[in-house]
Amino acid sequence: MNTGRYTCLEIFAKAVEDGGKIKVISGQAGSMEQAGMKSYHAWLKFPVETETDYEIVREGCHVSLCYLSGNEDILETGVCYLEQDKESGRFLPADKGRYENSPIRESYHFTPWKNWMNDPNGLCWFKGYYHMFYQCNPHFQEWSNMYWGHAASRDLVHWRHLPIVLSPQQEILEKPEEYKGGAFSGCAVAAGDKVRFYLTRHKGPLKDGEESIEQQWMMESSDMIHFTEEKCIIPKQPAGASFDFRDPKVLKIEGCWYMVLGSSMEGHGAILLYRSEDMEKWEYAHPLLTEEDKGVRCFECPDFMELDGKYVAIGAWMCHYDASRRYQMSRYYIGNWKDKKLEVESSGWFDFGSNCYAMQSFEHRNRRISIGWVSDFYHEHVEQEDGAYGSMTIPRELHIKNGKLYMTPVKEIAALRGINLYQGAGENFSIYGIEGNAYRAEVKFKENTPFDILLGKDGDKSISLRSDETGLYIKTEGVNSRDIIFRADVTQVTELEIYMDRRVAEVYVNEGEAAGTKLFYSSSKQGCFVIHADKPENIEGAEVSLMDTIWR
């Protein structure tokens, strides 16, 4: 493999038994080796010469992720992933086309190159790029000790994969049978010439409990590639708060800095408020809000923002089932900032599909943009070799209308619209065999009318969007979530915008009045869109078009 303009080779590896070895061999530049590797996960970094040929040889160890990094324009180029060729055993630049053609990762929803991903972290815009960090496990398709992955984009649509930024604490990596934890979720604040990051470090036994330690840490960067050492800024939860004490989000209100943290108090999920003058010394104030529902273990990944003249808090409800058995929904609360608390006037579900969790927002040029993790709460993931597990929602622009949180896909997503498959009105229609199963559909109705739209079918498994006398809902058949009704809180349906992308269905209703995200795994590379309205004459207009991939 030739290094091109890259200057660093990063390898995530684990010895099968203590004593494994990785050799990086070059006839031109000399060789390097990491011997005596242990049977726990290690992150190796080898400096390499540019435009030089190297061979990677692994002995007695497993490599889970490998890429070239270190070039000056990496924000433009991204890293270069290397994969081991099955026949020759050589590590070669990965075939990027696999992104576009493979049903095992999304086409226009962000996914990691492979393996596990959860919450978006550190969303911000800085010096011409949108940055997205995210919780990840580069080693396999399962949540485990947490790293921070990183990607950047100029347009919120096309992303470049960047080097991993943070890894779990060494003592956790060394004793995975005793501890779990790592670099948990957090946020970024771009202020002047640098960006400050706030995150939780978790260290605890395998089962969460009083011995679990969650502390808030801070670091900085001025180029988003190099980061200062982390500094502990809040070592302990305040009196009365549970050991769940994490996911800092920082904002400025009336010239003062505030941080919200997810926790619980006396058995009620709570969003805790901290205050600071200098962004480094933080003082606990009080709960910003406490949730009455007793079924919430804690809030996770709280967000707090000013929006359209109001204040909005959003938080993910850990371990909660709602009345229709939807698991871990996120709730928004709209109100006024009064006595440094949120005086709530209205609230609602953030996403009615309940495969969207841990959303985070940021502001750029007067737009409040949010991204959520497309989460698999009903265990519907189908593991495939080299597959990605977890993706991000389309970035959404947030607004408030009539006391409700409105969400629409950012306008930039229109750049992906491809070949038109259907345009018409006043009739029911079916499209089967949509190659690649990545499309967008828009339907407008003259008046509320019962309908059934088939969005995916695989043998006796299916996903549909339906509207009947009980309202609008997503319904699956033949999969784990089949007994759950994913209902939107709307009283009528006048407009639908549907994004189907391989394994993810994202539905926007009535120009943002509700949004629903639902996973649906299909073994077919082809998609379908079949609409049947009781009164087809009420279909004022419909359009279906292919969506391009973001990976090109």
**91-93, strands of its sheet edge to edge:** 42-47, 8-15, 61-69, 80-84, 91-93
The residue among 14, 273, 217, 247 whose CA lies nearest residue 118 is: 247
- Nearest CA-CA partner of 540 in 424, 413, 399: 424
The nearer residue to ligand FRU, 298 or 498, going by C-beta atoms, is 298
Interacting residues of 141 by C-beta distance below 8 A, sequence separation 6+ = 115, 116, 381, 383, 387, 388, 389
Q: What residue number has its CB nearest to ligand FRU?
A: 184
170 Cβ contact partners less than 8 Å away, ≥ 6 residues apart: none
Q: Are 456 and 525 in contact (CB under 8 A)?
A: no
- Distance separating alpha carbons of residues 155 and 412, to the nearest angstrom: 7
Write out the two tokens for 275: 């205050």
247 binds ligand FRU (CB under 6 A): yes
Task: Report the nearest approach of ligand FRU to the CB of residue 301 (Å).
Answer: 5
Q: Which is nearer to ligand FRU, 133 or 184 (CB)?
A: 184
Q: Could you say which residues in the range 169-198 bind ligand FRU, by CB under 6 A?
A: 184-185
For 127-267, where are the E strands, in sequence order? 129-137, 147-153, 159-166, 179-191, 194-205, 213-221, 231-234, 246-253, 256-265
Return the number of the residue (296 or 301) whose C-beta is nearest ligand FRU: 301
357 is an interface residue for ligand FRU by CB under 6 A: yes
If binding means CB under 6 A, how many residues of this protein chain bind ligand FRU? 13
CB of 49 to ligand FRU, least distance (A): 37
CB of 171 to ligand FRU, least distance (A): 18
Minimum separation from the CB atom of position 137 to ligand FRU (A): 9
Q: Give 135's contacts (C-beta < 8 A, 6+ positions apart).
A: 117, 118, 119, 121, 146, 147, 148, 149, 184, 185, 373
Q: In what order do the strands lie in the sheet with 32-37?
A: 32-37, 20-25, 55-59
The answer to whether residue 146 forms part of the interface with ligand FRU (CB under 6 A) is yes
Nearer to ligand FRU, 250 or 493 (CB): 250
Q: Does 118 bind ligand FRU (CB under 6 A)?
A: yes
Q: Is 300 in the site for ligand FRU (CB under 6 A)?
A: yes
- Please report whether residue 358 would count as binding ligand FRU according to CB under 6 A: yes
> What string marks each residue from 199 to 238 as x (binds ligand FRU by CB under 6 A) or -?
-x--------------------------------------
- Least Cβ distance, residue 146 to ligand FRU (angstroms): 5
Residue with smaller CB distance to ligand FRU, 196 or 249 = 249
> In the 3-class helix/strand/coil scheme, how is 237-282 assigned residue by residue?
CCCCECCCCEEEEEEEECCEEEEEEEEEECCEEEEEEEEECCCCCC
**Residue 301 lies near ligand FRU (rule: CB under 6 A):** yes
Site for ligand FRU contains 135 (CB under 6 A) = yes
Q: Report whether 507 contacts 498 (CB < 8 A).
A: yes
Residue 246 binds ligand FRU, judged by CB under 6 A: yes
CB of 184 to ligand FRU, least distance (A): 3
Which one, 78 or 390, has the nearer CB to ligand FRU? 390
* Residues in contact with ligand FRU by the rule CB under 6 A: 118-119, 135, 146, 184-185, 200, 246-247, 300-301, 357-358
